[in-house]
Copies of this chain bind each other. A is one copy, B any other.
Amino acid sequence: KTILVAGGAGYIGSHTVVELLNAGHRVVVVDNLSNSQENLVYCLAQQTIQYSFVAENVCDLERLNLVFDSYNIDVVFDFSGRKAVGESTLLPMLYYKYNINGTMNLLKCMRQHEVRDILFSSSCTVYGAPDQEALPIKEDDSVGCCQCPYAKCKYFVECLLSDLATGEPDYWRIMVMRYFNPVGAHESGLIGEDPKGDPLNLLPKLAQVATGKRPILDVYGEDYSTVDGSPIRDYVHVMDVATAHLRAVKHFQDISGIEIYNIGTGEGKSTWDMVKAFEAACGKPIPFRVCQRRPGDVPAIYCDPSKAERELGWKAGRSLKQMCEDLWRFYVLNPNGY
């Protein structure tokens, strides 16, 4: 199949592209490189003739239509959009503009070119602050009480997709994947997460402390009502996330309308679990200091991923150890990013 991957030069996008190419699919990446690296893209482009790269912004409808004219697209994977929670609070218009319009443009081009299959990258942040008694989270738990513009935009696009599926259930075949906390890197160490600006997630910060780029790890709160007092999250290896997308390609034929999947391990791990696992992976102690809780941080969030296992035959198989070791390998091989 020919798969258009919007945002395919980004973190989850690039790992997914590699899996798609390995499985023999043709891939057309559309990415404006606003938070990703051309190097990776050229590196991929040399690997295979199955791969094309188009440096466009999905928000440019005319040029996006030209991409659909040029390639015979079967499936769209939509990883487009900005993804920094903090930035979204400071610059909400940026998020409301790009993170909704990009997907809308993809949908318009799809409709015009009779493409029916789209997978949208959503996020566990659509669940807002979940009822701590009701964990693990299931796909039909309530959504929408989102904490930041980033999460709200994910929720809005989910609403749009669900309304499209209601309006034309015989046309659209839509999958929504709600990622929990994707971490790690490709086993080769060649691709990984190389965010521009300040990394806001725990694992990149751990790696920066280990390489000396960051003096100390800030741990936000140690008095949560969790097993060790630190927040619990559902960390999932980015290559497991990529595999979920590969499984999804075959699954569109079984869908009418829209299906939503939690993409996580189903196991909650604490900040201290991650610190220990990362110390073991990099062989160094990680200095830390405990700071105040951040507003909006929930004590625990982890998912029930059984729907993805049942329907896609997908299960996250990689351990915490692998997540940390693979991330560390990427940092050792790419001390200055790509």
Contacts and interface: CB of A to CB of B under 8 A. Distances in A.
A214 interface: no
Given A144-B144, A145-B144, A159-B152, A167 B91 contact: yes
A229 to B, nearest CB: 29
Contacts of A93: 104, 107-108, 111, 160, 164
B104 A97 contact: yes
Nearest to A165: B92
Contacts of A91: 167
A160 B92 contact: yes
Nearest to A108: B93
A92 B167 contact: yes
Contact of A164 (B92, B107, B152, B164): B92
A166 B91 CA distance: 10
Contact of A96 (B100, B111, B149, B152): B100
A167 to B, nearest CB: 5
A101 interface: yes
A225 interface: no
Q: Is the interface of A mostly helix, strand, loop or mixed?
A: helix
A interface residue count range (under 10 / 10 to 19 / 20 to 34 / 35 or more): 20 to 34
A175 to B, nearest CB: 18
A89 interface: yes
Nearest to A156: B156
Interface string A181-195: 000000000000000
Specify which of A90, A96, A104 lies most central, judged by the most chain B CB atoms within 10 Å of its CB: A96
A163 interface: yes
Interface string A87-113: 001111100110011001001100100
B89 A163 contact: yes
B104 A163 contact: no
Interface in A60-111: 89-93, 96-97, 100-101, 104, 107-108, 111
Contact of A163 (B152, B159, B166): B152
